[in-house]
Homo-oligomer: A and B are copies of this chain.
Amino acid sequence: MLTVAEAIGAILDEVKRLPGTRVPLNDALGQVLTEEAISDLDSPPFDKSLMDGYAVRSADVTSGLKHLRVVDEVMAGQLARRPVEAGEAIRIMTGAPIPLGADAVIPVEQTHLNAGDRETVNLVIEPANVTAGKNILRRGASTLKGTRVIPAGRLLRPQEIGALAELGKAEVAVNRAPRVVVLATGNELVPIDEIPGPGQIRNSNEPMLLAQLRKMGAVSASLGVARDDPADLRNRVQQGLAHDLFVLSGGVSAGELDLVPGVLAEAGVRNVFHKVRVKPGQPVWFGVAERRSAPQAASNPALCYVFGLPGNPVSSMVCCELFVRPALRRMMGIDPAIPESVRARLTRQHFNGGNRPTYHPARCVPSDTGFIVEPVKWAGSADLCATVEANAMALFPVGEQLYEAGTLLDVFLW
């Protein structure tokens, strides 16, 4: 049986980045840039005032002049009509270009005007505090024309969106967001708003997986519930295979009604692995198919990646985090495709046993000396309510062991 690392490796051997697309900048948040962003201008494009005040010649001030003649004023978006000569100042607003001749800005708070006289400004600043360049952002101080400001492959956050705007990118090249569908399977499932009858449970996997996938950046939709009936399942599998990624839950373990692997094989999905040494989630299934009704070049057919997740809700949740997430990140162009874990210290003694590594729901918080982690009370793969108290999963390796408080564990933040 594959280890978790081998299974993730097998997934990433198969999964390819989706083709790129161009979107308006305002729609690009959370997507991955596919081309580097180069500055087309110096930024700022001119020497710029950082304050409201007076543009002056610093030598005038350091030589002791206390009163300067105000010869013009300049707002953001304007240019001064004349240069600053010896003994002169130009009133200037934040963001406005520094007039010729001036090399410093005296903030308005360090000046005053005599009543009725706007033509002489009196300085109340210590001359030693005025040096060439004071309160001026030099042309190109932020970025020079031709600088690579954002590398290709960057996940776009608000600061990149702002910087791309500054660089003139009203549209940007990004990876297309993966289109994912979720299909829950099983005769035992009833809709959320019904009272389960004997032996039945509500279909919690569908909304949970839709939310997980959406949070990971996919466009997710539901294909409803497939009953344990080959014809029904076949029909919905055909619909699922028309998407970039197809996530099924339930029907993949060793039971006689676990129809999913057979129906997927019959539909032409090539199985890459079935079963991974992991707790919870051992029966997880992964395969690849040519995408149905996709525009295809014969040499490069569009693919649909298919995950069969075990039906117990915490198994579904954990397998989605461990296996589907790296696939989605690869499709979206996020590098590294495998999310980084953190190391965290156990807050208290914890016993873990078994012949599979356990991903235990846990609460992980930062401290001044590193993350600390506490496993939550958890009754196993069907105990979804326990995960509500968790924000992470803590990895306990194979084998029976008493872990002492303070042990460093690998923790995967949700």
Interface flag for A207 (CB, 8 Å): yes
Known contacts being A192-B170, A199-B96, is A161 close to B211, with CB within 8 Å? yes
Please tell me if the beta carbons of B203 and A142 are within 8 angstroms of each other in the complex.
no
Partner of A370, one of B73, B189, B313, B370: B370
Residues of B close to A380: CB separation below 8 A: 50, 137
In the complex, chain A residues 181-213 whose Cβ is within 8 Å of any chain B Cβ: 186-189, 191-196, 198-212
Contacts of A141 in B (CB 8 A): 379, 383
* Majority-rule SS of A interface residues: loop
**Chain B hits for A97, CB < 8 A:** 198-199
Q: Is there an interface contact between A142 and B366, defined as CB atoms closer than 8 Å?
A: no
Interface residue from B75, B204, B391 paired with A163 (Cβ < 8 Å): B204
CB within 8 Å of B: which A307-326 residues: 310-313, 317
Q: Is the CB of A205 within 8 A of B162?
A: yes
Listed A/B pairs (12) with beta-carbon separation below 8 Å: A26-B211, A29-B215, A50-B382, A76-B187, A77-B200, A142-B379, A158-B211, A159-B317, A166-B201, A166-B384, A367-B370, A370-B370
Q: Within the complex, what minimum Cβ distance (angstroms) separates A44 from chain B?
A: 6
- Minimum CB–CB distance from A367 to chain B (whole Å) comes to 7
In the complex, the answer to whether A366 meets B342 with C-beta atoms within 8 Å is yes
- Does A253 interact with chain B (Cβ within 8 Å)? yes
Q: Does A48 contact B (CB under 8 A)?
A: yes
| Contacting pair B212 A192 (CB below 8 A) | no
CB distance from A48 to the nearest CB of B (A): 6
Assess whether A317 is in contact with B186, with CB atoms less than 8 Å apart: no
* Bound-complex Cα distance A366 to B201 (A): 40
Find chain B residues with CB under 8 A from A342 CB.
Answer: 366
Contact assessment for A93 and B257 in the assembled complex, using a CB-CB cutoff below 8 Å: yes
Contact with B along A142-173 (1 / 0, CB 8 A): 11000101100010011111111110111000
Beta-carbon contact of A253 and B52 below 8 Å:
yes
B193 to A168, Cβ gap below 8 A? yes
Say if the beta carbon of A175 comes within 8 Å of chain B: no
Query: Is the CB–CB distance between B29 and A214 below 8 Å?
Result: yes
B77 near A189 with CB under 8 A, answer yes
Q: Once the chains are docked, how many angstroms separate the CA of A97 from the CA of B234?
A: 27
Q: Which residues of B contact A366 (CB under 8 A)?
A: 342-343, 366, 370-371
Q: Within residues 63 to 80 of chain A, which ones have a CB less than 8 A from any CB in chain B?
A: 73-79
- CB-CB under 8 A from A85, the residues of chain B are none
- Which residue from chain B places its CB closest to the CB of A316 in the assembled complex? B162
Cβ of A29: which chain B residues have Cβ within 8 Å of it? 211, 214-215
The answer to the question of A387 belonging to the interface, with a C-beta cut-off of 8 Å to chain B, is yes
**A187 pairs with B142, CB closer than 8 A:** no
A77-B187, A380-B137 are known contacts. Are A162 and B313 too (CB-CB below 8 A)?
yes
Whole-angstrom distance from the CB of A411 to the nearest CB of chain B?
A: 10
| A368 contact from B208, B254, B370, Cβ within 8 A | B370
Is A25 on the interface with B (CB-CB < 8 A)? yes
A208–B165 CB distance below 8 A: yes
Closest CB-CB distance, A182 to chain B, in whole Å? 11
A384 CB contacts on chain B under 8 angstroms? 43, 142, 159, 162-163, 166
